[in-house]
Amino acid sequence: MPTSALACAALESALNRYLDLDPDTKARFADLHGKVIGMQILGLGLTLYFVPAPQGLQVLSQFEGAPDTLIRGAPLALARLGRGGGMDGLFNGDISIDGDTETAQRFGEILGDLDPDWEEHLARLTGDVAAHEIGNLARGGRAWASATSQSLEQDLAEYLKEEGQLLPSRYEVEGFMHEVDRMRDDVERLEARLARLTQDRPRAKAAP
Amino acid sequence: MAEQDTTHFGYQQVPAAEKARRVRAVFDSVASRYDLMNDLMSLGIHRLWKRFAVELAGLRPGHAVLDLASGTGDLAARFAGLVGPQGRVVMSDINGAMLEQGRRRMADQGLIGNIEYLLIDAERIPFDDHSFDCVTIGFGLRNVTHKEKALQEMHRVLKPGGRVLVLEFSHPGGRPLKAAYDLYSFQVLPRIGRLVTQDEASYRYLAESIRMHPDQETLKMMMKTAGLERCDYHDLSGGIVAVHRGFKL
Ligand SMILES: C[S@@+](CC[C@H](N)C(=O)[O-])C[C@H]1O[C@@H](n2cnc3c(N)ncnc32)[C@H](O)[C@@H]1O
């Protein structure tokens, strides 16, 4: 599974946790049911698709067909959108919109009204691609874990109960551990790389 | 952000000290694979598999989709979001109790307008030819007695241009790494063992039914035989699970 899919999943569950705490905002998103909002993060070659519905938002990493609206911007400009800057970026040229401008604006406004904590999640998505993805996954997952249950046993028990017919087979666990191992190796390589980077550049450098 | 020494964390400007903290946090949070597994488990790896299948469904607002063996409707709930108020989702199962539970869950989530609930046996789909843009079955084909018949039926009710998606346990290729195997046998297995021995028989049935299920290539051939075209599949988690896709052209 591509890591960006994992990052999308983590972002989606984080956003929906905020929405569950904020029924008004959730209802405003529900009004956009039937719309697809693309968000292209410039410089990363990453486009996310947001699909609002009564039960919350879905965040997709791929969408066949044209979204109703496509919001383009550099990571910082998009992060400002989520920080309450609303659509200010549109007027100073940091953000551009293709397609249905009204939907984009409504979406941007609602996003701007969300708990600012969520900006950090978007920021993670726009950080160093690998670092953020792994970090986002792990941290998003951890927050989720503490919200639901504490231990592996509990998680498993819940999982087994809920998906009675999907009990993990030996296959499943083996393959899964395999994947976890690979991911750990990736993380170790990344750590070495980041350690070098931090040594080379202890302070003050502009972003590329 | 206040004026101070900044450095980049990816493309993002952060104060230098903050960066060190964030980098640390990234690795603290993934340092132990046990933790990572814990996180993934709680996020629900099965949810990730389903998400992936949903993206492959290629649904758009206005589409009509039939979900077979819906159970309590994880896939159907996502589809209802994607097809919008003008779209149509038929959530179905052979088991009435399952379906009823799913219906209640949808209502709780505020999903009502575009979902219908029907008792359907995947081997006999009560719809006209060319009715749906997409027909899906998630972790259900394994349980169907005549899989060929079900695949033919799924093909029949598809509109030209539509697609069938089968999400199912499959056959992982390759051998597990030794380390993973050790972790599995020393840490995970005993725990799972303790949990599942409460119902060992059904666990064994499940494990067997997964092993009995056709492997990736065999299922792909079966889909072709049922009339589907451009069939392909994606292995997830090393082939523990696969998503097969086929089109009616
Ligand atoms: C493991 S559940 C899958 C539920 C759901 N799709 C998911 O992915 O979570 C399998 C479901 O298949 C249903 N089922 C078994 N045989 C079937 C058949 N011939 N036609 C339709 N559904 C069937 C069962 O009732 C059960 O709800």
Domain residue ranges in chain B: 3-172+205-247
User: Which tens digits make up the pLDDT trace of A9-53?
Assistant: 777 877 887 788 788 889 999 999 999 999 987 776 778 899 999
Beta bridge partners of B117: B91
Domain B3-172+205-247 belongs in CATH node 3.30.1330.30? no
Which structural domain, as residue segments, surrounds residue A134?
A: 118-167
Average pLDDT, whole number, for chain B? Answer: 77
The predicted structure's pLDDT at residue A177: 52
Q: Which residues of B touch A205 (CB under 8 A)?
A: 7-8
Label residue B44 by pLDDT band (50, 70, 90). Answer: low
Q: Is the pLDDT assigned to residue B14 strictly greater than 80?
A: no
How far, in Å, is the centroid of ligand 1 from the Cα of A206?
A: 54
Q: Which two tokens stand for residue B198?
A: 């409460």
Percent of chain A residues past pLDDT 90, beyond the cut: 18
Q: How far apart are CA A32 and CA B86, in angstroms?
A: 12
Percent of chain B residues past pLDDT 90, beyond the cut: 46
User: Which tens digits make up the pLDDT trace of A146-193?
Assistant: 333 333 334 444 444 444 333 444 444 455 555 555 555 555 565 566
Residue B196 or B99, more confident: B99
CB A35 within 8 A of CB A68: yes
Q: How far apart are CA B43 and CA B110, in angstroms?
A: 23
Q: Which amino acid is it at B210?
A: I
CB B65 within 8 A of CB B88: yes
Query: Is some CB atom of chain B closer than 8 A to the CB atom of A77?
Result: no
Angle at B64 between CA B60 and CA B67, to 5 degrees: 105
CB B90 within 8 A of CB B70: no
Domain with A40 in it: what CATH number? 3.30.1050.10
Residues A49 and A139 grouped into a single domain: no
Percent of chain B residues past pLDDT 70, beyond the cut: 65
Q: How far is CA B59 from CA A103, B65, B135, B236, in A?
A: 20, 8, 11, 20
Average pLDDT, whole number, for chain A? Answer: 65
The winner for highest mean pLDDT among A164-178, B42-56, B130-144, B192-206 is B130-144
Residue B210 or B93, more confident: B93
Q: How far apart are CA B152 and CA B123, in angstroms?
A: 8
User: Which tens digits make up the pLDDT trace of A94-122?
Assistant: 788 999 999 998 998 887 776 545 445 54
How far out from the chain centre does Cα B20 lie? 37
End-of-domain residue from the set A82, A97, A113: A113
Q: Is the pLDDT assigned to residue A138 strictly greater than 50?
A: no
C-alpha dihedral over B171, B175, B179, B185, to 10 degrees? 50
Beta bridge partners of A69: A37, A99
Q: Is the pLDDT assigned to residue B131 strictly greater than 80?
A: yes
The predicted structure's pLDDT at residue A63: 93
Instruction: Name the domain count of chain A.
Output: 3
Q: Is A6 exposed, middle or buried (0-12, 13-18, 19+ CB in 10 A)?
A: buried
Q: Which residues contact A21 (CB under 8 A, 6 or more apart)?
A: A115
Beta bridge partners of B8: B13
| Strand positions, DSSP E, chain A | 37-41, 46-53, 56-60, 69-73, 95-99
Q: Which amino acid is it at A166?
A: L
CB B236 within 8 A of CB B52: yes
Length of chain A: 208
The predicted structure's pLDDT at residue B132: 98
The predicted structure's pLDDT at residue A69: 96
Percent of chain A residues past pLDDT 70, beyond the cut: 41
Q: How far apart are CA A81 and CA B56, in angstroms?
A: 29
For A183, other C-beta atoms within 10 Å of its C-beta total 21
Q: How far apart are CA B108 and CA B14, in angstroms?
A: 42
Residues A107 and A57 grouped into a single domain: yes
Query: Is some CB atom of chain A closer than 8 A to the CB atom of B109?
Result: yes
The predicted structure's pLDDT at residue A15: 81
Q: How far apart are CA A32 and CA A186, in angstroms?
A: 39
DSSP A2-17: -HHHHHHHHHHHHHHH
When pLDDT is averaged across residues B93-117 and rounded to a whole number, the result is 87
Query: Comparing A22-26, A191-195, B11-15, B79-83, which segment has the lowest mean pLDDT?
Result: B11-15
User: Which tens digits make up the pLDDT trace of B173-218?
Assistant: 644 434 444 444 444 544 554 454 444 454 455 556 666 789 899 9
Query: Is some CB atom of chain B closer than 8 A to the CB atom of A161?
Result: no
Residues A69 and A109 grouped into a single domain: yes
The predicted structure's pLDDT at residue B23: 44
CB A208 within 8 A of CB A128: no
Residues A35 and A106 grouped into a single domain: yes
Residues A11 and A109 grouped into a single domain: yes
- Which residues sit with their C-beta closer than 6 Å to ligand 1? A 165-166; B 68-71, 74-75, 93-95, 98, 121-123, 138-140, 143-144
Q: Collapse the DSSP code of B230 into the 3-class scheme (helix H, G, I; strand E, B; otherwise coil) and give the result.
A: strand
Residues A128 and A28 grouped into a single domain: no
Predicted ipTM beyond 0.85: no
How far, in Å, is the centroid of ligand 1 from the Cα of B43?
A: 22
Q: Which two tokens stand for residue A160?
A: 């087994």
| Closest in A56, A135, A194 to B29, CB measured | A135
When pLDDT is averaged across residues B111-132 and rounded to a whole number, the result is 94
How far, in Å, is the centroid of ligand 1 from the Cα of B140?
A: 4
Residues A176 and A158 grouped into a single domain: no
Q: How far apart are CA A126 and CA A141, in angstroms?
A: 18
Phi/psi-derived region of residue A36, left when phi > 0, alpha when psi is between -120 and 50, beta in every other case:
beta
Residues A15 and A99 grouped into a single domain: yes
Residues A150 and A174 grouped into a single domain: no
State how beta strands A56-60 and A46-53 pair. antiparallel
Choosing from A159, A166, A169 the residue with most ligand 1 atoms within 8 A of its CB, the one to mutate for a pocket test is A166
Residues A7 and A94 grouped into a single domain: yes
